[in-house]
Amino acid sequence: MTSIYILGAGLSSTVLINYLIEHSEKYDWQIVLGDTDLRLAQKKVNKHPRAKAFQFDVLNPLQVEEVAHKADIVVSMLPARFHAIIAKFCIKYKKNLLTASYISPEIEAMQQDALEAGIGIFMELGVDPGIDHMSAMRVIDRLKSEGAQLTAFFSGTGGLIAPQSDNNPWNYKFTWNPRNVVVAGQGTSMYIEKGQNKYVPYQRLFKNTLTTSIDEYGDFEIYPNRDSLKYRNVYGIENIPTLLRGTMRRKGYSQAWDVFVQLGMTDDTYRMEKPENFSFRDFVNSFLPYSESESVEEKLKTQLPELIDNTVLKKLKWLDIFESISVPKEAQTPAQILQFILERKWILEAEDKDMIAMQHQFEYIRANGSKGKLISSLVVIGKNQSETAMAITVGTPLAIAVKKVALGEFTQKGVQVPVNPEMYLPILEELEQIGITFNEIES
């Protein structure tokens, strides 16, 4: 019997857990689910005879070691910062580890140790990162095999609200970790265009978006996501003159979000001094100069004339950001306060459905010298509150990979991302069987 440990039983794990439990009888697996919240883990395994729950605290190294010792395969769905400690013990006990998170510098540094232990640390197996890599690489490898030369690759992914549940002026709700949305993009984003490296600091990030559309789903905008430059190596397209990976939002989102960025409301590095009854309106006013005569709304227009127009003001007002509603004591940094304000309004209702949108655009010169363009788009709509589009697209490719590792079909060693056909082909094929299918338009 193969013992598969899943660490983290939150919303994003549901589809993964169900997939593995469903296949447990057939393949003779035992599924062991750990979470700080034992009841949550118990609920998720639902007394299945091949699954059990336990109370797991990643901050207890003895417990992490015990997991690595007992497990045959470890799957971490915990926040990315915890993967390194888990990987350390997986190396010690020579157990394969799989996650849906970006390779961190700490994980990258374990390459040699993982190779020597003879294990695979399979990373970036969710949707973004994950399905984005796999679907892009399938097209890139196909074009290469046809003798085409890639001249540009743009790629965007967004976790959004489905059109049928889209009923607010931001065309956005939290469908994923709200904190990550609030602090998204901090630092410098990098991409390459026509052979020129471009560096976009946070304060410019939401000002220069690309726009695109997906058939039947309307318009989107894309802002650059982290370091696209390194994907020239990861994707084996070292000489491509244009490469940009980005985050998708509905049109108009970025200009309004930029108001928060410019004012400093997304800063998570200091605690604000908050007097009694500190309100949403006081919060906004804290980032605007004092004025004897101008209102908060007027000062906002004076300070950010290039950003504030009627559509942006409508978005801001809809959030109640100019109201005298009290900020709770627990919210202390600007980012925490902004998150509180947003969570009141951007919350998924019980009947709401989320949406994952992804689009790749490839430009190339064919072997015969003609220019080609291929647009490959994916939209996944959530089924219900637990089987969200995010949980499906993060959990399913990861679960398939776990299955392949358990069956001895994925035998790669070292730190891996799914960019080789031995990995991406079987995963994409199985995803297609459940309707996760890219629509390709070539011109």
**Peptide bond preceding 201 in cis form (omega within 30 of 0):** no
Our CB check for a second copy shows the closer of 302 and 411 to be 302
- Please say which residue, 2 or 303, places its beta carbon nearer to a second copy: 303
Q: Using alpha carbons only, give the angle 349, 21, 389 rounded to the nearest 5 degrees.
A: 30
Rounded Cα–Cα distance for residues 194 and 50 (Å) = 54
Crossing angle between the packed helical segments 14-22 and 389-406, to the nearest 10 degrees = 40
Closer of 145 and 269 to a second copy (Cβ): 269
Interatomic CA distance for residues 153 and 374, integer angstroms: 10
**For residues 55 and 324, which CB has a smaller minimum distance to a second copy in the complex?**
324
Residue 120 vs 334, nearer CB to a second copy? 334
Q: How far is the CB of 20 from a second copy (least distance, A)?
A: 39
- Of 40 and 296, CB closest to a second copy: 296
* CA–CA distance, 152 with 195 (Å, rounded to integer): 10
Minimum Å gap between C-beta 149 and a second copy is 20
- What minimum distance in Å lies between the beta carbon of 183 and a second copy? 14
* Helix%, strand%, coil% for the chain, nearest 5: 40, 25, 35
| Cα–Cα distances in angstroms (integers) from residue 79 to residues 7, 362, 393, in the given order | 10, 32, 17
Output the smallest distance, CB 26 to a second copy, in A: 48
CA distances from 261 to 17, 226, 268 (A): 37, 16, 12
Residue numbers at the binding site for a second copy (CB under 8 A)? 187-188, 193-194, 196-204, 207-208, 229, 261-264, 267, 269-270, 272-273, 282, 285-290, 303, 305-306, 334
Cβ 188 to a second copy shortest distance, Å: 6
C-alpha to C-alpha distance for 197 and 240, rounded to whole angstroms = 12
Size of the chain in residues: 443
In the complex with a second copy, the residue whose CB is nearer, 56 or 340, is 340
Closest approach of a second copy to the CB of residue 334, in Å: 7
In terms of Cα–Cα distance, which of 141, 81, 132 is closest to 106? 81
CA-based radius of gyration for the chain:
23
Shortest Å distance, C-beta 224 to a second copy: 11
Cα separation, 104 vs 127, in Å, equals 17
The separation between CA 321 and the C-alpha centre of its own chain, rounded to angstroms, equals 27
Angle (nearest 5°) at CA 91 between 89 and 97: 85
Return the number of the residue (152 or 425) whose C-beta is nearest a second copy: 152
CB of residue 406 vs a second copy: minimum separation in angstroms?
39
